[in-house]
Amino acid sequence: MTHVPTVTLVGAGPGDAELLTIKAVKALRRATVALVDDLVDPGVLRYLRRGTRVVHVGKRGGCASTPQAFIHKLMVAEAQRGETVVRVKGGDPFVFGRGGEECDALRAAGLHVEVVSGLTAGIAGPAAIGLPVTDRRHSRGVALVTGHAGTDGGEPDWAALARCGLTLVIYMGVMRLPVIVDALRVAGMAGDTPAALVSRAHTPAQRQALCRLGTLVDTVAAQGLQSPCIVVIGDVVQAAPMWAGQGAAAPQITAAHQATG
The vertex-202 CA angle with 7 and 161, nearest 5°, equals: 85
What is the pLDDT at residue 259? 42
Rounded to an integer, what distance in angstroms lies between the CA atom of residue 200 and that of residue 192?
25
Q: Kindly report the backbone phi and psi dihedral angles of residue 28, in degrees, each rounded to the nearest multiple of 5, phi listed first.
A: -65, -40
What is the pLDDT at residue 247? 47
In CATH terms, 6-119 corresponds, of 3.90.1150.10, 3.30.450.40, 3.40.640.10, 3.40.1010.10, to 3.40.1010.10
Answer for the pair 200, 239: CB distance below 8 angstroms, yes or no.
no
Rounded to an integer, what distance in angstroms lies between the CA atom of residue 20 and that of residue 248?
38
What is the pLDDT at residue 1? 54
Rounded to an integer, what distance in angstroms lies between the CA atom of residue 86 and that of residue 115?
10
What is the pLDDT at residue 4? 78
Residue ranges in the chain whose pLDDT is less than 50 = 247-248, 251, 257-261
Q: Kindly report the backbone phi and psi dihedral angles of residue 168, in degrees, each rounded to the nearest multiple of 5, phi listed first.
A: -100, 125
Q: Which sequence spans correspond to the domains of the chain? A: 6-119, 122-243
* Residue positions annotated with a catalytic role: 37, 59, 172
Answer for the pair 57, 34: CB distance below 8 angstroms, yes or no.
no
Q: Which CATH superfamily is domain 122-243 in?
A: Tetrapyrrole methylase, C-terminal domain (3.30.950.10)
Model confidence pTM above 0.85: yes
What is the pLDDT at residue 224? 87
User: What are the strands of the beta sheet with 142-146, ordered from one edge?
Assistant: 142-146, 167-171, 229-233, 194-199, 207-212
pLDDT (tens digit per residue) in 45-64: 999 999 999 999 975 555 55
In Å, what is the CA distance from 204 to each residue of 11, 42, 70, 214?
20, 12, 32, 29
SS3 state at 50 = coil
pLDDT (tens digit per residue) in 182-211: 999 999 999 999 999 999 999 999 999 999
